[in-house]
Structure 1
Amino acid sequence: MVKTRVLTSILAVVMTTLVLFTGCAQTSESQNEIKIGLNYELSGAAASYGQDTLNGVLMAIDEINAAGGVLGKKITYVKLDNKTDPAESTSVATRLATKENVSIILGPATTGATKASIPVADKNKVPLISASATADDVTVDAKGVKEYAYRICFNDSFQGTVMANFASKNLNAKNAVVLMDNSSDYGKGLAKNFTDTFAKNGGTIAAQEAFVKDEKDFSAILTKIKDKNFDILLIAGYYNEAGLIIKQARALGIDKPVLGGDGLDSPVLGELAGKTALNKVYFSNHYSSLDKDPVIVKFMEEFKNKNNKDPNAFNALGYDLGYFAADAIKRANSSEPGKIKEALDNTTDFKGVTGKFSIDKNHNPVKTAVVIELKDGVQSSSVKVEP
């Protein structure tokens, strides 16, 4: 019995020593790493957005680690699929913030999944940054600024301001017609900010008409505007309806320049409108492959070498997001989430592939946008427009 007790005591000491040793090993390992969480749509309806953004993020992380990491530490990550489902995104964010104890969460890509994750970030005081959630109320709503939510893309209504400035200053437009998707916040925000800014620039709104998602026949509203005095036509909506509007407008003899937001950026636009209808068409975007900036050219070459395809806007935004997170950690001189948040709040003149920007009081970037011109359905030129 005594021998048994002695043996038990010895085993207890050994086990305690092993636990302590293991704990020390884990602490030592964690001291050489900075863990971040990746919450992305890797399956479901928006899988292409999530995967493209993730590919950009991972390329940035690989480059950062190859150059020595951040604060002398390697960046490691926990990558989880939110399945393009808001409820799943909430669960993923919870796991990253509480069980994985990450320093920062990158993603999701879509507005719905991002908004579902933000309460988790706020509750657990872990910064969350989206590269591509554009809805106006992602970072600030009627209750105020969402303390731990950030983004590096411009918001929906901002594009209205950009396109109004482009219409006034680049196209010398004085009169505009606005066709608005009245069933989406995107369309309404784009239209409102366009009309407000265009008026401030001295322009006049000759007419404003509304349509709704999935509408197919636009002959009635196009006939109403055909004889109006206007220089440009703004379509505040997505490519599904915009393609048909442009096709039907050209068929009616409306040959005025057509403007839109990033919702027009899709090859489906050409399929719906027909390439010959897509002349004098301009839309705002986050990035242009036509840009000859050495930073963009280098990124394009390296991305194509790594992925065997040309990068799109989501790839570019994801790439910027990876470097943006690393920049905040470096400036914070810490992997502690609260200190990273302070660094994010004080971001000025961060330079990325999608432009140079600072973070404003609403946790949005103040940055230039790119306006792309289509000729026969092909991107032919791009110009940067200041906000």
Structure 2
Amino acid sequence: MKRISTLLAAGLCLLSLAFLASGCSKQAPQAVQRQEVLIGTNLSLTGPGEAYCRSTEQGVELARDILNEQGGLLGKEVNLVTVDNHGKADDAAMAVQQLSTRHVSAIIGPNMTACAAAVMQPAEALRIPVVSPACTDPDITVDAKSRQVYQYMFRATFIDPYQARAMGEYAMENLHVTRSAVLYNGESSYSKGLAEFYRSTIEARGGTVTAFVDLADHDGNLAAALDAVRQDPGQAVYVPLYDKKAREVIVLARSSGMTTPLLGADGWNGPALAKNVDPAYLTNLVYTDHYANDVHEKTAETFAERYYEKYGEWPDSYAALGYDSLMMIAEAIRRGNSDKPQQIAQELAKTIDFTGATGHIILDSNHDAIKAVFILTFWEGEPALLEKQPAVNIQ
């Protein structure tokens, strides 16, 4: 019995060794070499911000098409993985997780402040570079408390202090405004931030803010808020609201006989205003934006023509920012000769000479875009360029 047990044990041992030997003779499985570069998009395609996020997505799609016409990146086809965050912060954070499992090289979006803020920690933890095309809040690339720069958060747009300063300076220097009112929405960090930055600009240059009216103090009643502004509107009223609310203010002000110039920010979305507001009301309006269809620069003109060919309409600034976001990522991939997320992040931080549809872009040490600000008005019911203010580093 003992002999049988010994023989059995020896046999099992030999079998195990044979199994191990056969296993060791095989090469270790190698990582699958992807034949495509995957880029994720994390935008609100249904829900709040849907209109301008769809424009952004279309701009990204056009950039993908052009890159593939040029042979792709690193000899690989560029493909998109799209996740709809519905304009919700929780969904935006979850989208980063979902896109990570798809092994994307980088993520474009979100645009909206709350959604962009929600992806900062997941992006850092998963080490995936995120480029926000249109979020202008200063605190999505830098920790608000520690002022530490997030290594994986970037943007293709200027920040709110930048555009508010541009509008304040334009109002004082070109419109000769010395007294100005402000009508804003205190429940929106975007609107409140712009209002405060604009007020600081006016006052720092010796001007006076005659009224600083918060819609929230009037329970969102536009008529009541506008009446408060009318008490002393100064020579212009700054209205940093998103397009729908801005549209309501413009229509209400002009239909009630108020002719005071109204000034706005990128949230006005000029093409959307042009489509939805009677041209008779589009008078004495000036706003800041990222792009203008009538700017005569080769990259911008080519982008606009290709966009029109693909979609049958002229692009807005959000489409241009989406386009630039992917092209900026593509340049980082080429520069680093790698589609690995960590390498892309390192190269994005070195962006100093990128020219896109929205113009020349330098990313500063906070990963914010230093670029020109477009000052627009409306002419015959369509957005029209008044001035392109040169890039200034306000750090």
TM-score (norm 2): 0.82
CA, structure 1 residues 88+366, in 2 after alignment: closer, same or farther (shift >3 Å)? same
Matched, 1:259 2:263: yes
Number of the residue aligned with 1:233: 237
CA, structure 1 residues 13+46, in 2 after alignment: closer, same or farther (shift >3 Å)? farther
Matched, 1:43 2:50: no
**3-state SS of paired residue (2:137):** coil
TM alignment of 1:279-318, pairs within 5 A:
279-318=283-322
User: In 2, Cα distance between the equivalents of 1:74 and 1:204?
Assistant: 55
Q: Which amino acid in 1 is paired with 2:68? A: N
User: In 2, Cα distance between the equivalents of 1:240 and 1:48?
Assistant: 11
Q: Which amino acid in 1 is paired with 2:110? A: P
Q: Which amino acid in 2 is paired with 1:371? A: I
State the shift of 1:204 in Å: 2.9
Aligned residue pairs: how many?
370
CA, structure 1 residues 356+303, in 2 after alignment: closer, same or farther (shift >3 Å)? same
State the shift of 1:179 in Å: 2.3
User: In 1, Cα distance between the equivalents of 2:145 and 2:177?
Assistant: 34
CA contact (8 A) 2:271 2:383 kept: no
State the shift of 1:39 in Å: 2.4
Matched, 1:224 2:231: yes
Number of the residue aligned with 1:102: 104
User: In 2, Cα distance between the equivalents of 1:106 and 1:266?
Assistant: 23
State the shift of 1:351 in Å: 0.8
**3-state SS of paired residue (1:78):** strand
TM-score (norm 1): 0.84
Bigger Cα Rg: 2
CA contact (8 A) 1:244 1:273 kept: no
CA, structure 1 residues 70+245, in 2 after alignment: closer, same or farther (shift >3 Å)? closer
Number of the residue aligned with 1:3: none
TM alignment of 1:1-387, pairs within 5 A:
27=32, 29-30=33-34, 32-97=35-100, 99-140=101-142, 141-144=144-147, 145-212=149-216, 214-218=220-224, 219-225=226-232, 230-250=234-254, 254-265=258-269, 269=273, 274-375=278-379, 377-386=381-390, 387=392
User: In 1, Cα distance between the equivalents of 2:38 and 2:277?
Assistant: 46
CA, structure 1 residues 191+46, in 2 after alignment: closer, same or farther (shift >3 Å)? closer
Unaligned runs of 5+ residues in structure 2 are 1-14
Deviations 1:149-199 (A, max 9, x none): 111112334321111121123223222222232222122211111122223
Alignment RMSD, CA only? Answer: 3.0
Number of the residue aligned with 2:10: none
CA, structure 1 residues 321+217, in 2 after alignment: closer, same or farther (shift >3 Å)? same
State the shift of 1:200 in Å: 3.0
CA contact (8 A) 1:164 1:198 kept: yes
State the shift of 1:261 in Å: 0.7
State the shift of 1:136 in Å: 2.9
User: In 2, Cα distance between the equivalents of 1:246 and 1:44?
Assistant: 24
Structure 1 residues 335-344 or 244-253, which shifts more? 244-253
State the shift of 1:273 in Å: 6.6
User: In 2, Cα distance between the equivalents of 1:261 and 1:273?
Assistant: 17
Q: Which amino acid in 1 is paired with 2:104? A: V
CA contact (8 A) 1:175 1:232 kept: yes
